[in-house]
Amino acid sequence: MRLSGTTYRLIGRAALSAILVSAVLTSCERRPLDDPDFNTSINVKVSVEAISNVTCDIYNDKIPVPKIDPDMMHVLFFEETGDALATEAYISTKSTDSDGNTVFSGKLSIAPGTYRMYIYDFGTENTLIRNTYNWESAEAYAANVPDRISRSYQTKVPAEESLTYSPDHLVVARSPQEVIPYHSGIYTVKAEARSVVESYYLQIKVDGIEYVSGARAVLSGMSGGNRIALGERMDDPRTSIFFPLVKSDDKGVPVICCIFNTFGRPDDSLNSLEVTFDIVTKAGESIQKTFDISELFRSEDCIKHHWLLLDETIKIDPPKTPDPGGFNPSVDDWENENHDIIL
């Protein structure tokens, strides 16, 4: 079964559940016309340690930890040269190995020979795939934010960059030379999948956090995606990332912070990285502060732990006393809530 189009976006578990049912009721496998009687069992090992540092070295344990929890993997075998697809399948049988890793298993038929193979997590919301059936140019990229959000940050986003959501973690396994030998019975191909997305922890101190209703941030100068079959980060085009912030504290000091995802920083060491904090006060006022954090990305904390800890403090003044005869817009207070983040 081959889904139409080259770009896929599944929103929510409900849509994904429908596909899982379809996978059970149908073969969910594309086979060549000349189908030999050789079965190949595909086992994909998903390594949770693939989230760079964030899950194993948390700076702020009050922030929910990102999780990798795929429901289905898309397996594609290409001929040794060119872009001809030999076979594909969607596999969704899950188990857990002795090391606690999630393993996906599924069966498909393919003639003995040498192939190129890649496998990816099918079902992410903010990470999209295009050019799926092209080995060289299959790409993962992040979904653009709506125009109404993009317009709010026109002066904060470089003209050559688009404004996207923070991408979901996407686990990918690849093999540029996968040999399927002549065999009887079932031959097993094992592949280890890792995320092509990185996670970072970001925080800044706030004086007057009691007057803050909400906050979000825009980070410019990040990689635009990943060529998933080749395992190459895409430094052109570059993108700006939009993500929400939460209130917390660092050893008793009030901060706004978050864990955000990115395809990474471009290799160009001269690339400027700027973050804009957009804070909404309880009086309805928007306060934007921009900082160049290029050097922060080169710091030991960032390199070893993926921590971006700004030394600066944003000061929020108490709201002015409203005119008794005027209209005083208000914004509902935000609350400290803990949520599971499904990535």
Break the chain into its structural domains and give their ranges: 12-144+170-195
The strand pair at 274-281 and 286-292 is best described as antiparallel
End-to-end CA distance of the chain: 26
The two tokens of residue 116 are: 């190129």
pLDDT for position 54:
57
With CA atoms as reference, report the closest residue to 281 among 327, 245, 240, 316: 316
Q: Is 315 exposed, middle or buried (0-12, 13-18, 19+ CB in 10 A)?
A: exposed
pLDDT of res. 37:
54
The reported pLDDT for the residue numbered 261 is 93
How far apart are the C-alpha atoms of 319 and 139, rounded to whole Å? 47
Helix, strand, or coil (residue 15): helix
Query: In this predicted structure, what is the pLDDT of residue 57?
Result: 64
In CATH, the number for domain 12-144+170-195 is 2.60.40.1120
Low-confidence ranges of the chain (pLDDT < 70): 1-42, 46-57, 268-270, 321-343
CA distance 258 to 302: 15
Residue with the two structure tokens 């430094």? 235
Pairing of strands 198-207, 307-315: parallel
**In this predicted structure, what is the pLDDT of residue 272?**
81
Sheet of 253-262, strands arranged across: 246-250, 253-262, 198-207, 307-315
